Amino acid sequence: MTGSRTLVLIKPDALKRRLSGEIISRFEHKGLKIIAMKMVKLNKDQAEKHYAVHKGKPFFSDLVSYIISSPIIAMVLEGRECIQVVRNLLGATDGSKAAPGTIRGDYSNGIQYTLVHASDSEESYQHEVSIYFNNQEILDYQIEGENLI
């Protein structure tokens, strides 16, 4: 492994707006490596496990309902300071407050549809990744020149 890892979910609103390619390209242009990726349709149990930290909050059922409303793209990214780099690329959760040039700043104008989820810590990554991928689906490989990034 050549850095830390994070889980990224391209959510239903991004797929419906045909932004998934643009979002993926931003991660690649930043020098992050995709080491796992697939399109999935979550069931309610998976969604509730993913959002378990929000259980009991008034918006929990809305989060679950939305993430299972259509397919999503799940990815594991790897790179130097990956979690922080991805969160910086995404911008503030509330798109109306996200800086221009960030994914949410360029494509979101509110907090209800955030386009992308990304793990916010190593602990979150460890909890979330197993919901979407098994160990055989996460590939360890080298890209020529990746140590230069």
Q: Which two tokens stand for residue 129?
A: 């990744």
| CATH fold for the domain made of 4-133 | Alpha-Beta Plaits (3.30.70)
C-alpha to C-alpha distance for 79 and 90, rounded to whole angstroms:
16
Please report, in angstroms and rounded to a whole number, the separation of the first and last CA atoms in the chain: 14
The C-alpha angle 56, 83, 140, rounded to 5 degrees, equals 115
Domain residue spans of the chain = 4-133
15-64 per-position pLDDT tens digit: 999 999 999 999 999 999 999 999 999 999 999 999 999 999 999 999 99
- Residues 23-55, buried b or exposed e (16+ Cβ, 10 A)? bbebbeeeebbebbbeeeebeeebbbebbeeee
Query: What is the pTM (predicted TM-score) of this model?
Result: 0.93
Q: Please say if 117 is a catalytic residue.
A: yes
95-123 per-position pLDDT tens digit: 999 999 999 999 998 888 999 999 999 99
Q: Which one from 29, 50, 117, 127 is the annotated catalytic residue?
A: 117
